[in-house]
Structure 1
Amino acid sequence: MNDKKILLKYGLIGGAILVISWFLFSPLWMSDPENMDFDLGELVGYASMIVALSTVFFGVKAYRDKQRNGFISFKDAFLNGLIIVLIASIIYVVGWMIYYPNFMPDFPSQYMNHEEAKMVAEGLSKEVVDQKMEEMKAFMDMYDNPFIMAGMTFLEIFPVGLVIALISALILKKKSGV
């Protein structure tokens, strides 16, 4: 298997894990549409990202061991990890652009209701709550733009992958003769 196939394979696996996790774990926090556990959803979402992006480590290791005879510089390890992250991130974005409108069409209003109830429970004044709700509505309206949605979704996953690529490169770097 050549290096491009290794990177593509692990990027595709990472992206697939991310998308499949939505279908597997969404029922945990979306089981009651009136009382969704948004905090659990966020926790499960980021945990899924970390698990899925562990493919960066395994992909760089496979590349190092199969293509580089067990040796790789930090730079090459990081750049190859970055390629895997980019592939997985693109799959994540495309998957979200399909999943969100088809499987979570009521999410914006449910999330806004949740946040409003949380602010009221915290004792914020009506004026502050109204202002925050207007800001959220403006954001949700902006998020309806597919370019904004794609960009925001990319910025949700990519930094996590960037950190994992960095850590993987630090762990896996191995110079020849050392």
Structure 2
Amino acid sequence: MQNNKGIIWKNSMNYGALVGIVLIIITLIVYVLDMDGTSMVLGILNYAVLIGGIFLGTKYLRDKTQNGAISYGRCLGSGTLIGLFSSILVALYTFIFYKFIDPDALEKIFIMMEDQYLQSGLSEEQVEMSVNMMRKFTTPGMMALNTIMGSTFMAFLFSLIIGAFVKKKPVAGFSAYQGSEIQDVEEVSDSNEEK
């Protein structure tokens, strides 16, 4: 029988890959249709996909591999790992996209930010200084790294809440984590007294 950590990692990789692929497809659709990639609706959709993936993946782990029971800690770990694996896929896509597919996309982002800063009332000097600073830290590699850190952190936060709903105590007399029956404490103490 595969050990518990292996089961959790495999399940998290599978659901993380699923979430990552869905997020990449959404990003590609936004790019092909030339939609606003910074819209609040898109952000909410991305979080909904992540939350849904964490919930479904952790629930599957509980119901199919843990005999219907899972601790809060395992829920938290499962959800965070799902977020980590999905973010690695999205980060890889982000790096490839901005480095090789459309390197000019970053310049479009800087121009858009410049316009937003000017509309907010910042002086031209302040805008230039802000955009130059942003250029130093907004590279394909940094964007990929930020994707991994940010998405994993958000997955952790979402898992804190999701874990409260998905966790479930094992049925008395049955070990959810071993898949085998265990003796009640009274039975063990009775058998020890007989010896």
TM-score > 0.5, shorter chain as reference: yes
CA contact (8 A) 2:70 2:168 kept: yes
Structure possessing the higher relative contact order (Cα contacts under 8 Å, 6 or more residues apart): 1
The aligned amino acid for 1:113 is I
SS in 1 for 2:103: coil
1:17: how far off? 0.9
1:72-128 per-position Cα deviation (integer Å, ceiling 9, x unaligned) = 110111112222222212112122222222333212211111121222223322222
1:137: how far off? 2.6
Aligned CA distance change for structure 1 residues 9 and 129 (closer, same or farther; 3 Å): closer
CA contact (8 A) 1:60 1:81 kept: yes
Q: Over alpha carbons, which structure has the higher Rg?
A: 2
> What's the RMSD between the two structures over aligned residues?
2.5
**Runs (5+) with no aligned partner, structure 2:** 173-195
What stretches of structure 1 move > 4 A for 4+ residues in a row?
none
Q: How does 1:25-36 map to 2 (within 5 A)?
A: 25-28=30-33, 30=34
1:49: how far off? 3.8
CA contact (8 A) 1:64 1:70 kept: yes
**Runs (5+) with no aligned partner, structure 1:** 32-36
1:51-91 per-position Cα deviation (integer Å, ceiling 9, x unaligned) = 14421111111111112221111011111222222221211
Query: Which residue of structure 1 aligns with residue 155 of structure 2?
Result: 161
Separation in 1, partners of 2:68, 2:51? 22
More helix by share: 1
Query: Which residue of structure 1 aligns with residue 116 of structure 2?
Result: 118
Residue 23 of structure 1, aligned match among 21, 28, 35: 28
Query: Which residue of structure 2 aligns with residue 14 of structure 1?
Result: 19
TM-score (norm 1): 0.79
Separation in 1, partners of 2:52, 2:83? 10
SS in 2 for 1:69: coil
The aligned amino acid for 1:106 is D
CA contact (8 A) 1:14 1:55 kept: yes
